[in-house]
Structure 1
């Protein structure tokens, strides 16, 4: 007996929870006039209804459902069903959608004044002749005699131009010597048995022994290939640099 009573109570509770209510409402436009034939959709149940000619609608639903309202020419709107909407009508206002207006070419019409209209539609022959002469003049090339310089005026000389002198190098041999000493480091020269006070003297000896450095001095830049060339030159001339010191 208790089991049957519990089952009946549970069934009634389930029906109450899932029972469908009806939402009533009215749809109007911005100027508060009724909007007929608006589609109303319950998103949860997918039920669709149309408003009547007075803008009224009725659709099944419950609290929390989303109702969508749309009609061609109006902005779409979504409304969530509240507890109040189950007991009182839902009022919805639609806004007209912005529409692009096709471009219209406005032509000048007749004014009714014969004197004015005759000038507008039939310009005088003198005006037409003057316009034609101006167009022909603009198409013609300028006479070289007009562009020629007058006596005493300065004329830009034509030709390949003139030299402004030798371009100064960015570096000199001292700059290059300082860079090589810094880039190679003291240990490099120590391994060659070159004492620190004689490093720049040794570098100058290598440079003046035929080491090509014109582009290095011009641009103030030593590439990795230039460093390797210098090191090769060192290996070739290190013995000749030390030879006079050995003979003493």
Structure 2
């Protein structure tokens, strides 16, 4: 009788307390997906899948996990007792791109004179091309060359570089990788940035972010991805205050 009670108590406690749930997230073609946000709706704990699409997160029975990545449909999974011993295999589907309907304003009737009048640029397009050509030929001024709101301005200072001549990537490649793999939701939802601030903020973080090996090899590991996420979170406040991104002071050995 004591053994039965003890067994019941152990099962009951396992259902109450959090345990680690592991698994893999793939697309519809069974390819592993990195940088998928795994969010526990009950505890609000979150993690990201690694380059092999693998993740581990704390959860309890009946916890709801949500899997989120830009360009994919959101997927939910309610945790059962068996999920603590059997790794999860979660597949999320890509969002199909919408193709705009092409409307034909004029159908040829076989009359060459009338057909020619309805082909080529419209009046508005001709006007735009004329203004563009005039702009290109005109002299540049300080007002024209000044950066617009939200545009990236090349920072000046020590520690900012775009990669050596033998590097596989430059900073633009690395930036695109971060946006594609972390998703815009990481920057707009987690960091509360405007879409126009994403690229300037990444370059701001780059100023004192060690990435020589990433650029040289053209490979961003899960460790490098985690380093960037940590650095981005730590630099968010100073970026909002428009302060310079200075490197941390080195402690002097006594």
Q: TM-score, length-normalised on structure 1? A: 0.36
Name the TM-score, length of structure 2 as normaliser: 0.35
Largest Rg, 1 or 2? 1
